[in-house]
Amino acid sequence: MNSYNKTILSNGIRIISENIPYVQSFSLGFWFNVGSRDESKRNNGITHFIEHMLFKGTKRRSSRKIAEDIESYGGYLNAFTSKENTCYYGRGLISNLPRTFDVISDMIQNPSFKSSEIKKEAGVVVDELNDIDDNPEELIFDKFEEVLFSGNSLSMPIIGSEKNIRGFSQKDLFNFIDEKYSFNNMLIAASGNVEHEKIIKLTEKFFLKDMGQRSTKRKLLSIFPAPDHRIDKPVQQVHMIIGRATYGYKDKKRITANILSHILGEGSSSRMFQTIREKHGIAYQLNSFLNSFYDVSSFGIYLSTNEKQSDKAHSLVLNEFKKIRGKLVSDKELKKAKEYIKGNIILSLESTTSRMFRMANSELYYNRLVTIDELTKMIDSVTPQEIIEIANEILEENYLTKIIISPSDLVLKSAA
């Protein structure tokens, strides 16, 4: 039987762990409750840039040494930045847990931030920014949330702008670390064949530098209808999102909204897929999404199709919204959506990294572990009446926002 433990040290660091005795590996994550939401327009992109720079060397290790210390023992090291969190994580054989802990804690506490490396990495991150700009499937989601959350820091892209990226200095990076990377803003999460007391001892051994306590309050977002927006780019297809802002993690209605999203557009048996792709033969790419934050989510339908079919695809989406607002879903369809969600959750539990991510997100958003049984009961309790009520709250046409990336005149002329 797996055991879950939680400890808050006197310095404010939270430690959560799950022991899985039948595996020989671990996944270890160092989480900070900071993301692009905690930036300003002037420094937008700095959280993501720091994530990159922590791999470029410390006072004890070069960037190559960081990689070799993990990979030479069959381990894996990576990181990611979201709008609300940053995570540095590793996985490997349980015998290498202390080494992985040492490397990541060194990266966090002792980054060198050499000016030469900052300049070099800025070029790499600008290349990443250009890749996003060249990829309409990614770009449209950034633009959707930029319009949807206009006036709030949630509207800003994680990667930032080229001007900001090329302008970050060593002082900027150290100042942001000092301001945001504090003990009370930090969570250490581990899953696998790990002992909770050992994680505590490793924390006490390697986190000797006082990172202090900082305020972690965020300004909550007020939701207002957002205008439609069109972007002309040299692309072959029309890319479209139709959606709006809705319930975040702190709202119990998010579970119902998630089930509604699955009924509409998750999987090849969903309503949108069957109607738009199977029946009408348009829109190769098609899916619903619910991208959630603490106080709000972005919800929508994404699709891509040729320009001649884009108006028809838009009308079909709105028609499906109208249908689900007007008639109760059947018990059979609702059960199918619930089983789809529960199946994905259960399958994710076969990975120690996925388990570590799930534990950490639960702790960060709910200050406790939401168990699988508890989550399953919440999913199973949703009724057809709740689905239609949520559908009428969030799928009213007048409150929806449409974002389109459309072929520019340049593409149309070249195709003529």
Tens of pLDDT, residues 155-193: 999 999 999 999 999 999 999 999 999 999 999 999 999
- Specify the pLDDT at position 354: 96
> What is the DSSP track for 296-339?
EEEEEEEEEE-GGGHHHHHHHHHHHHHHHHHSPPPHHHHHHHHH
- Specify the pLDDT at position 212: 76
Write down the mean pLDDT value for the chain: 94
pLDDT band at residue 199 using 50, 70 and 90 as cut-offs: very high
Same domain assignment for residues 242 and 350: yes
Taking a C-beta distance cutoff of 8 angstroms, is the pair 83, 218 a contact?
no
What residues does 190 pair with on adjacent strands? Answer: 17, 28
Can you give the residue range of the structural domain that contains 333? 229-415
Report helix, strand or coil for 3: strand
For helices 310-326 and 384-394, angle between their N-to-C axes, nearest 10 degrees: 130
Buried b (16+ CB within 10 A) or exposed e, 31-40: bbbbbbbbbe
| Other beta carbons within 10 Å of 99 | 16
Q: Please check the confidence at residue 222 and state whether its pLDDT lies above 80.
A: no
- Using CA atoms, how far apart are residues 238 and 404, in angstroms rounded to an integer? 7
- Specify the pLDDT at position 412: 38
Same domain assignment for residues 387 and 307: yes
Question: Is 222 inside a domain boundary?
Answer: no
Query: Residue 213 is encoded by which pair of tokens?
Result: 């306590």
| pLDDT, tens digit, 9 for 90 and up, residues 326-358 | 999 999 999 999 999 999 999 999 999 999 999
Q: What angle do CA 63, 122, 119 make, to 5 degrees?
A: 75
Could you tell me the pTM of the whole model? 0.93
Same domain assignment for residues 242 and 331: yes
The rounded Cα 183 to chain-centroid distance in angstroms is 22
Q: Please check the confidence at residue 219 and state whether its pLDDT lies above 80.
A: no
The rounded Cα 404 to chain-centroid distance in angstroms is 22
Q: Please check the confidence at residue 215 and state whether its pLDDT lies above 90.
A: no
Question: Is 211 inside a domain boundary?
Answer: no
- Using CA atoms, how far apart are residues 393 and 243, in angstroms rounded to an integer? 12
Question: Is 217 inside a domain boundary?
Answer: no
| Domain stop point among 147, 171, 206 | 206
- Specify the pLDDT at position 208: 80
| pLDDT, tens digit, 9 for 90 and up, residues 398-413 | 999 999 999 975 443 3
Report the percent of the chain where pLDDT is more than 70.
97
Buried b (16+ CB within 10 A) or exposed e, 266-293: bbeebbbbebbbeeeebbeebbbbbebb
Q: How many helices (H) and strands (E) does the chain have?
A: 16, 11
What residues does 300 pair with on adjacent strands? Answer: 243, 289
Range with the largest mean pLDDT of 204-208, 212-216, 218-222, 299-303? 299-303
Same domain assignment for residues 349 and 201: no
| Other beta carbons within 10 Å of 397 | 10
- Specify the pLDDT at position 14: 97
Kindly state the DSSP code that residue 221 receives in the 8-state scheme: P
**HSE toward the beta carbon, residue 232, CA cutoff 13 A:** 5
Q: Please check the confidence at residue 209 and state whether its pLDDT lies above 80.
A: no
Same domain assignment for residues 234 and 364: yes
Query: Residue 238 is encoded by which pair of tokens?
Result: 């029309």
- Using CA atoms, how far apart are residues 48 and 88, in angstroms rounded to an integer? 12
- Using CA atoms, how far apart are residues 263 and 274, in angstroms rounded to an integer? 11
Q: Which amino acid is it at 56? A: K
Report the percent of the chain where pLDDT is more than 90.
91
Same domain assignment for residues 140 and 42: yes
Question: Is 214 inside a domain boundary?
Answer: no
The rounded Cα 331 to chain-centroid distance in angstroms is 31
Same domain assignment for residues 303 and 246: yes
- Specify the pLDDT at position 105: 97
Same domain assignment for residues 356 and 235: yes
Same domain assignment for residues 194 and 291: no
Q: Per the structure, how many domains does the chain have?
A: 2
In the block, which residue shows the tokens 């949703």? 382
- Specify the pLDDT at position 409: 52
Question: Is 14 inside a domain boundary?
Answer: yes
Same domain assignment for residues 345 and 379: yes
What's the longest Cα–Cα distance across the chain? 69
DSSP H helices, 181-245, are 196-206
Query: Of 239, 245, 316, nearest to 277 (Cα)?
Result: 316
Report helix, strand or coil for 111: strand
| pLDDT, tens digit, 9 for 90 and up, residues 79-117 | 999 999 999 999 999 999 999 999 999 999 999 999 999
| Domain stop point among 171, 206, 241 | 206
Taking a C-beta distance cutoff of 8 angstroms, is the pair 221, 295 a contact?
yes
Query: Residue 40 is encoded by which pair of tokens?
Result: 């300003």
Q: Please check the confidence at residue 2 and state whether its pLDDT lies above 70.
A: no
DSSP H helices, 135-279, are 136-148, 162-167, 170-180, 196-206, 253-265, 271-272
| Other beta carbons within 10 Å of 339 | 12
The rounded Cα 409 to chain-centroid distance in angstroms is 34
What CATH number did the domain enclosing 327 receive?
Answer: 3.30.830.10
| pLDDT, tens digit, 9 for 90 and up, residues 234-276 | 999 999 999 999 999 999 999 999 999 999 999 899 999 999 9
In the block, which residue shows the tokens 């993501």? 48
| Domain stop point among 206, 241, 268 | 206
Which residues, 6+ apart, have CB-to-CB distance to 221 below 8 Å? 149, 152, 154, 245, 293, 295, 296
pLDDT band at residue 223 using 50, 70 and 90 as cut-offs: confident
pLDDT band at residue 415 using 50, 70 and 90 as cut-offs: very low
Same domain assignment for residues 240 and 160: no
Same domain assignment for residues 254 and 150: no
